[in-house]
Structure 1
Amino acid sequence: MSTAPNNLTRLRYIKLIHVARRELRMDDDTYRLMLSGMVGLEGATSTADLSVPNLQRVLEQLKQLGFKPRPNKTGARPRANDEQAKKIRSLWLELHDLGAVRDPSEEALARFVKSMTRVSALQWLNVPQASRVIENLKQWQRRVTNMEVV
C-alpha cells in the first residue's frame, strides 16, 4: 500500500511538469535535451523514468526557466448562495458598472466585506452583518448615482 501515495505524488509531479512545459512553450526536443543534460538523472529523457526526487529536480529546473505554478482552485471555498449574499454580489457588480468599483471579483468583494465586518467570507456573515453590508452598498450606490445627476 505504500506505493499508492507515492504513485499519486509521481502523477501529480508529472502533470505539473507537463503544465510547465506547455506554459513555457517548450517543444519535445528541447524538453528531452534539458532532461538529458541535467545532473543526477542518468541521461533520462522522459518523466516516466524518474523517481519523485528527480521529478522535483525537473520541476525546480522548469521554475528557474520561468514557470510559476498557480494554486489549485479545487480547494477554493464555495460561493455563498443565500438571498442576502446574492443581493450583496448584485449591488457590488452594479457599483462596478457605475464605475465606483474597480475590481468586480469575488476576492475584492470579500476584502470589502471584511473591512466592514471583520468576517472573511460572505457565507460566514450573520443576518445583521449582511444587512449592514447591503445598506452600506445601497448608500454608496445612491451617492454615485446622485453625483451623475448633478
Structure 2
Amino acid sequence: MSAMTSSNPDRLRYIKLIHVARRELRMDDDTYRMMLAGMNGLDGATSTADLSVPNLVKVLEQLKQRGFKVRPNAAGKRPKANDEQSKKIRSLWLTLHGLGAVRDPSEEALGKFVLSMTKVSALQWLTAVQASRVIENLKQWQSRVTHKEGV
C-alpha cells in the first residue's frame, strides 16, 4: 500500500469512479497512463494509487471532458448498513422522529446527521468508535427530549 492510501471514503469513491470512467470510455491501460502522465500538476504519476484526493478530482474532470457522465448506481441508493450498531442508530433516529425531535426520518437525513458528527456520510463507513459516538449522542438527545416532555 502506498503512503497515499488511507481510509478516506472520498478517495475510494473517486478511484472507483475513475475506474468506471475508464471502462465506459473503453480506455486501455496504456492510454490511461499516458493521459495521466500528460496532465499538469500530477508530477508524472501514472496510477491512482499515487494521487491525492484533489488530484483524483482533476483526473475525474479530465475523464468527464472525454465524455464520461457520472450516474447514480443502479437503484440510485446504496444498500442499508445492516450491522448491529447501524440498526441501533436507525432505531434511535426513528424513535426521535416519533417523539417529534427529528423532522425527516429518511436514511438520507440520518446520513446528513451522521456526516455532521463524524465527517462520514454513510453508516456503512463508520468505524465502531464513530458509531458508538453517534449512538451515545442520539441517546443523550432522546433523554433530553423525553426528560423535557416528561415522557
TM-score, length-normalised on structure 2? 0.51
**Structure 2 Cα separation of the partners of residues 146 and 126 of structure 1:** 30
Please list the CA deviations of residues 38-81 of structure 1 after superposition, one character each: whole Å capped at 9, or x if unmatched.
Answer: xxxxxxxxxxxxxxxxxxxxxxxxxxxxxxxxx77614211100
Aligned to 2:136: 135
- Per the alignment, residue 85 of structure 1 pairs with 86
Name the counterpart of 1:14.
Answer: none
Hey, what's the Cα distance between the residues in 1 that align with 2:137 and 2:113? 11
Matches within 5 A, 1:1-150: 74-149=75-150
Matched position secondary structure for 2:79: coil
Aligned amino acid, residue 135 of structure 2: I
Distance 1:148 1:73 in 2: 43
The structure that is helix-richer by fraction is: 1
Distance 1:143 1:75 in 2: 35
Larger Rg: 1
Which secondary structure state, in structure 2, belongs to the residue aligned with residue 74 of structure 1? coil
Aligned residues: 80
Query: How many percent identity over aligned positions?
Result: 77
Tell me the CA shift for residue 90 of structure 1.
0.1
| Alpha carbons of structure 1 residues 104 and 73: separation in structure 2 relative to 1, 3 Å | farther
- Structure 2 segments unaligned to the other structure (5+ residues): 1-71
- Superposed CA deviations along residues 11-38 of structure 1, whole A, max 9, x for unmatched, are xxxxxxxxxxxxxxxxxxxxxxxxxxxx
The verdict on how the C-alpha distance between 1:147 and 1:85 changes in structure 2, with shifts beyond 3 A counting, is same
Where does structure 1 lack aligned partners over 5 or more consecutive residues? 1-70
Instruction: State the distance in 1 between where 2:96 and 2:128 align.
Output: 22
Match of 1:84, SS? helix
Q: Return closer, same or farther for 1:118/1:72 CA change in 2, 3 Å cut-off.
A: closer
List 4+ stretches of structure 1 deviating above 4 A: none
Cα deviation for residue 115 of structure 1 reads: 0.1
State the partner residue of 2:41: none
**Residue type of the alignment partner of 1:149:** G
